[in-house]
Amino acid sequence: MVSLEPNPFRITISSPFLDQKPGTSGLRKSSKQFEQTNYLESFIEAILRILPGTQEGVLVLGGDGRYGNRRAIDVILRMAAAHGLRKVITTVDGILSTPAASHLIRTHKAIGGIILSASHNSGGPDGDFGVKVNGSNGGPASESLTNDIYLCTQKLEEYLIYPAQDISLRNIGKYSIGAMEVEIIDGVEDYILLMQKLFDFDRIKNFINRDFPIVFDALNAVTGPYAKRLFEGSLGAPEGTVRNGIPLEDFGGLHPDPNLTYAKELADLLLNGDLYSFGAACDGDGDRNMILGNGCFVNPSDSLAVLAANSHLVPGYAEGLLGVARSMPTSSAVDVVADELKISCFETPTGWKFFGNLLDSSQITLCGEESFGTGSSHVREKDGLWAVLFWLQIMAEKQCSVADLMKQHWSRFGRHYYSRHDYEAISQEKAFSLYETLESKLPSLAGEFFAGRLVSCADNFLYQDPVDGSITDRQGLRIVLDDGSRLVIRLSGTGTKGATLRLYLERYVSANGDLDQNPQEALSRLIREIDALAEISSRTGMNSPTVIT
């Protein structure tokens, strides 16, 4: 057959370009770095060489709408065609949330997906860009796949790409590049259908429209179109329920990180106002969620525990949970629930990829991280809007407020006072030396007293995957005390400026103890003593953390 298309170009690259392995979820750098000649292209070349099944395979592609998305989609389509893929599925305007991408990969039996997002990092020409790679199970690429992609970038000499093509992403439709088909679909619809299978929309609709006004902040990022169709469409909430609902290239200057610092407007509405009974926000790519009630902030570790304890009220989970999992720094609140439900509870390193094997082998149904991430076996990513619907369904069934639900939970299971302190943009050198010095002190801590309690374990967390036996070590320093209190310190794998040090603090108070303290006060002794031991303020020169959750 005669092809009217020109052959793909071979572009020579001079030197290896990645200075370090991609972090917790993909490659995340400043937009400026991604604009360097052949930078994006080199990473994509490595992905397309390493991802199994590219010949004749189907790939899912989209992003959170940030600056750089459109150009990246164009480049990836042309490179995918040059690598012999049969088809790439992308979406109108390239808008695709991370959980929706995970769902599409699974339903279309794709070889994987490329999601263009730096998640909760800021966007725009002066912000960050990122490339996440997902495998055929719909989840973030495994450690070994990420490693192979990284090694491949170190010896690349050329990449393959088709010359520029004219493909509009404005409407749904089909195009071709060489022998490859490009299908542009509505990126929202399939996701809404999936949610309708898991939740009882009629009951939620009745509940929120009776006397339970809700508000959702999309922070000008990817969840806007999804949330509008869900809340203002299917669930009949009034127009205006979704704030900042149009994805903007620079997120309108907002930092799309749903926490009390960056989603301040929403937090004020709920914590200092009386207009709404429930508020929620998601991050740039839609996989994180923050839950607020009137006068009440829900700690994400507690959120996971509440979902697990009440899952029988949600149609999609009424048959019970296979098991649960949490990342190591996440509080043990869900462990207590799992105990009572008599199901297993796994502790994994930070990063969603570690839940993949447990979900795939049907050992768990729910999982979560302290970093505003909760999810289930319905996809292989954490899912922000799913968590919001889960909360709404529980409250619709129990006819109660967020604050009441939290009180009920603690008075049944006890309370895990919990906080995360982030020290952002400190120098790499200072961060590494602080970390290494603390690590060297750990062996002598075991059996000694710390903050008035005996230290029962002090180590650097090592994880052995229960399914494939693979070992991942050095996943965070932890000090565990004999009353269950825990202190964890790790360095972030998603920051782009210097290093970010994360300190996680946890203290358990049983159901008959004082459940009504301010978390920072309840944790004050641990905070003081870890600062002295790890020399955080003296070494960083910072008197307080950048963000407290």
Site string (274-303) toward ligand VG1, x via CB under 6 A: ---------x---xx---------------
Q: Does 64 bind Co ion (CB under 5 A)?
A: no
Segment near ligand VG1 (CB under 6 A); pick from 348-356, 481-489, 505-513, 519-527: 348-356
Amino acid, single-letter form, for residue 199: F
Do the beta carbons of residue 67 and residue 343 sit within 8 Å? no
- 344 vs 323: CA distance, rounded Å: 5
Do the beta carbons of residue 81 and residue 177 sit within 8 Å? yes
Task: Give the 3-state secondary structure of residue 456.
Answer: strand
Segment near ligand VG1 (CB under 6 A); pick from 244-252, 336-344, 478-486, 492-500: 492-500
- 237 vs 217: CA distance, rounded Å: 14
Residue 288 Cβ vs Co ion, minimum distance, rounded to whole Å: 5
CB-nearer residue toward Co ion: 41 or 283 = 283
Among 123, 351, 356, 519, binds ligand VG1 (CB under 6 A): 351
> Catalytic amino acids?
119
- 445 vs 439: CA distance, rounded Å: 10
Q: Footprint of ligand VG1 on residues 104-133 (CB under 6 A)?
A: 119-120
- 408 vs 389: CA distance, rounded Å: 20
Q: Shortest Cβ contact with ligand VG1: which residue?
A: 119
Sheet holding 344-348, edge to edge: 344-348, 323-327, 366-369, 373-376
Residue 293 contact among Co ion, ligand VG1, none, beta carbon within 5 to 8 Å by kind: none
- Count of other CB atoms within 10 angstroms of residue 341: 17
Residue 24 contact among ligand VG1, Co ion, none, beta carbon within 5 to 8 Å by kind: ligand VG1
Among 485, 494, 540, 549, binds ligand VG1 (CB under 6 A): 494
Q: Footprint of ligand VG1 on residues 370-399 (CB under 6 A)?
A: 371, 373
Q: Footprint of Co ion on residues 103-132 (CB under 5 A)?
A: 119
Tokens of 263: 């989603």
Nearest to 93 by CA among 177, 184, 190: 184
Q: Footprint of ligand VG1 on residues 424-453 (CB under 6 A)?
A: none
Q: Footprint of Co ion on residues 232-291 (CB under 5 A)?
A: 283, 285, 287
Q: Shortest Cβ contact with Co ion: which residue?
A: 119
Q: Where are the beta strands (DSSP E) in 78-123?
A: 87-91, 112-116
Task: Give the contacts of 421 (CB within 8 A, at least 6 positions apart).
Answer: 502, 503, 504, 505, 527, 545, 547, 548
- 514 vs 450: CA distance, rounded Å: 22
CB-nearer residue toward Co ion: 13 or 260 = 260
Compute the 3-state secondary structure of the chain and give helix, strand, coil in percent, each to the nearest 5.
Answer: 35, 25, 40
Give residue for tokens 């050198």: 429
CB-nearer residue toward ligand VG1: 326 or 415 = 326
In total, the chain counts a number of residues equal to: 549
Task: Give the 3-state secondary structure of residue 499.
Answer: strand
Among 124, 252, 493, 498, binds ligand VG1 (CB under 6 A): 493
Among 45, 369, 383, 465, binds ligand VG1 (CB under 6 A): 369
CB-nearer residue toward Co ion: 45 or 64 = 64
Among 25, 134, 244, 365, binds ligand VG1 (CB under 6 A): 25
Q: Does 549 bind ligand VG1 (CB under 6 A)?
A: no
Q: Footprint of ligand VG1 on residues 301-330 (CB under 6 A)?
A: 327
The site that binds Co ion (CB under 5 A) totals a number of residues, namely: 4
Among 11, 24, 445, 459, binds ligand VG1 (CB under 6 A): 24
